[in-house]
Amino acid sequence: MMINTLRRKLRGIPLVVILLTVFPFLISAYCIGSENNDNSSADTRYTCVSVPRRIVFCGDTVDLTRYDRHERMDRELMAFSFMHSTSIQTIKRANRYFPVIVPILKENGIPEDFKYLMAIESACNPLARSGAGAAGLWQFMPVTGKEYGLEVNSHVDERYHIVKATYAACKYLREAYNKFGDWISVAASYNAGQGRISQQQDRQYTDETLDLYLVEETARYIYRIFAAKLLFDNPSAFGFRLKASDLYPQIHYRTVKVSETITDLARFAKSQGTTYALLKNLNPWLRDTSLPCKNGKEYVIMLPDNDKMNYNPDLTLPYDRKWVVD
């Protein structure tokens, strides 16, 4: 029916006009096809990061040769390999925040490998917030944050405070280690909760957390930490070849102690020679436009060093030389 209608419409149009109309499109299609054929001759291949036979986590060697462990590890390695922007940004940010959190982990007797737990929790983004309401580098829920000593309200939310949240995370991790006695169970409990891990160990008659049947999120969690460790140990193996100048440097700042209420943080920022935006950027724990100081409460506010605010690629040093190729 449609073909007959088209024939009737074209019957009165000279053939030359039809050819002149169609010919440019035919040439264009031919050129595009030729270009695609040329490109198809290029050798485009995707490769996978090899799953190691074993990995060391917090001083313990984990065997990854059993098929289920191998395949779980393979899945997380592929995720880091092909989620390019997230993986690269995590490394960039880690250059700024690992130097802050690692000394706190060591001070509290927490293995340094737990910096990779922080990396998978928030992609090293201090402003990260999950759909469930977990916030900050360590992704504390409001109730858990308060339980471990963080102030959480409409004006101040210390889950976003890099230093204080790290100390709170250390309290949790140490408490969990006292309960389980092994760091893999501690890491799993950070995702699932101590009670749930203990319950499943009892129900499944094993203390080996990697052998537990758990919900998918928690089952993947430990292997994501392992994969993050391999990513940071050798980004080039994942196809990420960064220069030192690609990394985010630490921010130079000075501090001001505040013990009286600030009714207007924007005005306060201006009085300190900076902007409201930079004040909030350096102090994401400030959640409102004012800061009440009640009952002698004192806060330490970070302010940018205006003389050292600009990027200087020559002065950007990598936290770990393995992260860069130059």
At 115-146, the pLDDT tens digits run: 999 999 999 999 999 999 999 999 999 999 99
Decide: 265 and 294 in contact? Cβ < 8 Å: no
Please report the pLDDT score of residue 176 as a whole number: 98
Is the pLDDT confidence value at 218 over 50?
yes
Average pLDDT over residues 203-232: 97
DSSP 306: G
Confidence of residue 34 (pLDDT cuts 50, 70, 90): very low
Q: How many residues does the chain have?
A: 326
Helical axes 194-203 vs 162-180, angle rounded to 10°: 20
Average pLDDT over residues 10-31: 50
Is the pLDDT confidence value at 36 over 90?
no
Confidence of residue 296 (pLDDT cuts 50, 70, 90): confident
Is the pLDDT confidence value at 174 over 80?
yes
Average pLDDT over residues 66-85: 95
Closest listed residue to residue 70, CA positions, set 285, 226, 201: 226
Residues in CB range of 262: below 8 A, 6 or more apart: 268, 290, 291, 293
> Chain-wide mean pLDDT for the chain?
90
Amino acid at 36: N
Model confidence, pTM? 0.85
User: What sign has the CA pseudo-torsion 15, 20, 21, 23?
Assistant: positive
Lowest mean pLDDT among 1-10, 96-105, 216-225, 270-279: 1-10
DSSP conformation letters of 194-250: HHHHHHHHHHTT-S-GGGS---HHHHHHHHHHHHHHHHHH-GGGGT--B-GGGSPPP
Q: Is 298 helix (H, G, I), strand (E, B) or coil?
A: coil
Please report the pLDDT score of residue 26 as a whole number: 46
Which backbone phi and psi does 156 adopt, to 5 degrees? -130, 130
Please report the pLDDT score of residue 279 as a whole number: 97
State how far the Cα of 19 lies from the Cα of 27, in Å rounded to an integer.
Answer: 12
**Residue predicted with more confidence, 155 or 8:** 155
Q: What is the pLDDT of residues 107-122, one digit of tens each?
A: 999 999 999 999 999 9
Q: What is the pLDDT of residues 297-310, one digit of tens each?
A: 999 999 999 888 89
Please report the pLDDT score of residue 12 as a whole number: 56
State how far the Cα of 256 lies from the Cα of 301, in Å rounded to an integer.
Answer: 5
Confidence of residue 314 (pLDDT cuts 50, 70, 90): confident
CA 29 vs. chain centroid, Å, equals 43
β-bridge mates for residue 262, sequence order? 291
Question: In the numeric block, which tokens belong to residue 56?
Answer: 């060391």
Average pLDDT over residues 42-59: 83
Please report the pLDDT score of residue 201 as a whole number: 97
Residue 213: other Cβ atoms inside 10 A: 8
Please report the pLDDT score of residue 33 as a whole number: 47
Lowest mean pLDDT among 39-43, 104-108, 149-153: 39-43
Question: In the numeric block, which tokens belong to residue 217?
Answer: 């999120």
Residues in CB range of 84: below 8 A, 6 or more apart: 239, 240
Decide: 164 and 137 in contact? Cβ < 8 Å: no
∠ at Cα 196 (190, 202), nearest 5°? Answer: 125
State how far the Cα of 29 lies from the Cα of 170, in Å rounded to an integer.
Answer: 62
**Residue predicted with more confidence, 96 or 44:** 96
Residue 14: other Cβ atoms inside 10 A: 8
Decide: 80 and 88 in contact? Cβ < 8 Å: no
Q: Helices then strands (H, E): number in the chain? A: 12, 4
- Cα–Cα distances in angstroms (integers) from residue 312 to residues 63, 88, 95, 99, in the given order: 44, 20, 15, 19
Closest listed residue to residue 86, CA positions, set 45, 126, 124, 134: 124
Decide: 23 and 212 in contact? Cβ < 8 Å: no
Decide: 230 and 237 in contact? Cβ < 8 Å: yes
